[in-house]
Structure 1
Amino acid sequence: MNIYFLRHGQTEQNKNKTYYGRLDVKLNSTGIIQAEKAGEFFKNIELDKVFISEKTRTLQTAEIVLKGRETKLIKDRRINEIDFGVFEGKTYDEICKLYPEEVKLWEKEWERFCPMNGESYEMFYKRVKSFMEDIKKLDAENILVVAHGGVIRAVYSYILDENLRFYWKFSSRNGDISLIKYKYGDFFIDSIMHVD
């Protein structure tokens, strides 16, 4: 089985380097171009299933990629980006100024720290892991998952060690395409491609 993970195209929040996951925002003009480039990559690949998060940015990306195809989009909340709670929509500098004590805790125990009204990386990882466990059970040749940078890093972590140890060892740029293969009862990372 081939599972293609596509990070949604750029948004203004990505461009401005703000922390956001729960915020529902649209692609900017660069993000639309990135999605169009990804569409070129997928134009000759027959996709059996397409999963997206509940966010507009993944929906827009998927619609551009699948332009003209009769493909059902399956929304799954488990592949929503991590919820940063009160940190949502703020830059790192703004978060440090507004929540200095919380930032100390965050830096000390980043896996377990949960911002107010948000979720911890451990909570986030558990739902992404649950999604991947269900992917194993599918009977399909090619699957596309349009998701978020944090989700894709969590997937890499799940494949490598089934915990968050490798979470910060990977980058995931807007528009990147990662091919994960599932063979002989195991996942492996086949390739990571930049669309630029």
Structure 2
Amino acid sequence: MSKTVVYLIRHAEAEGNFIRRFHGITDSNVTEKGKLQAQKLAERLKNVHFDVIYSSPLKRAFYTASKIAEGRNINIIVRDDLIEINGGDWEDRCWDELPLLYPTEYEMWEKMPHKHCMPNGESMYELFLRAKSAFENIVKSNVGKRICIVTHGTLIRALLTYIKGYEFERLNEILWQDNTAINIIEYKNGKYHLVVEGDWSHLGKELSTIAYQDWWQQFLKERGIKKQDLTIIERRESYE
């Protein structure tokens, strides 16, 4: 069987990322920094051939996919099942408010996210099942091709447990990824191989979103991860 290659990409920075409000299905615009991130991503991928490009319907994902698609003569296929988690009552709430308004749910989100359910929204496991089904359908429909999928951070984090062969209970071992981060997955003989995970080296520190945010430093500290440990194993010469 020929090899299938998937580029699984997080969208560029949107307003919710910048102002730190929970935007799951909230359809916020890409920021000016996000537009620069998307341009850097497009430049990084300009020599990568894609047979097909998929996107979440939300503006932040579709804009990012559109920048990748420029000059390629490829129509972007929008799939509703690639949308971010439905945050229910958390939608458009300030992140700082959430532990005060929803202390039990927020603690679950932080410590045992695999058990978390958004109040009047979607559970993490429901998101996982939706993401897995969408991913499998896309891959099986494009065997032997090079696929680009632009979607969202929480969805990617959940999906990577499946791609890595983890039990979903290990979700908290998957790191959050910066905007426009790239994951590269090979599929052959019925098995997935994660070649690149969470690579945002095309941004540099000046265009990073999370490098300047306190929650990211706290997230790493709680897991005993130092910056020098965040090395990215990649085989760029094989793909670009």
Query: Structure 1 stretch 134-143 or stretch 55-64: which is displaced more?
Result: 134-143
Match of 2:54 in 1: 51
Taking CA–CA contacts closer than 8 Å with sequence separation of 6 or more, which of the two structures ends up with the larger relative contact order? Answer: 1
Equivalent residue for 1:172, pick from 171, 177, 181: 177
Q: C-alpha deviations, 1:15-47, integer Å up to 9, x for none?
A: 222222110011101111111111112211221
Q: Do structure 1's residue 99 and structure 2's residue 89 form an aligned pair?
A: no
Match of 1:150 in 2: 154
Q: C-alpha deviations, 1:134-178, integer Å up to 9, x for none?
A: 133123421000111112112210112354233232221101111
For 1:41 and 1:108, how far apart are their aligned partners in 2? Answer: 35
Q: Is the 8 A contact 2:114 2:171 kept in 1?
A: no
For 2:74 and 2:111, how far apart are their aligned partners in 1? Answer: 44
Equivalent residue for 1:187, pick from 182, 185, 192: 192
Match of 2:133 in 1: 130
Unaligned runs of at least 5 residues, structure 1:
none
Bigger helix share? 2
Equivalent residue for 1:16, pick from 6, 16, 19: 19
Q: C-alpha deviations, 1:86-132, integer Å up to 9, x for none?
A: 11122332122223454456567643442333100011000011012
Match of 1:83 in 2: 86
- Give TM-score scaled by structure 1 length: 0.90
For 1:45 and 1:105, how far apart are their aligned partners in 2? Answer: 40
Q: Is the 8 A contact 1:49 1:142 kept in 2?
A: yes
CA distance 1:8–1:98, shift in 2 (3 Å): same
Aligned alpha-carbon RMSD (Å): 1.9
Structure 1 residue runs of 4+, over 6 Å off?
A: none
Q: Which amino acid aligns with 1:58?
A: A
Query: Structure 1 stretch 70-79 or stretch 27-36: which is displaced more?
Result: 70-79
Unaligned runs of at least 5 residues, structure 2:
204-240
Q: Do structure 1's residue 25 and structure 2's residue 25 form an aligned pair?
A: no
**Percent identity (aligned):** 31
Query: Structure 1 stretch 161-170 or stretch 77-86: which is displaced more?
Result: 161-170
- Give TM-score scaled by structure 2 length: 0.75
Equivalent residue for 1:161, pick from 160, 165, 175: 165
Q: Is the 8 A contact 1:160 1:166 kept in 2?
A: no
For 2:181 and 2:108, how far apart are their aligned partners in 1? Answer: 31
SS at match of 1:30: helix
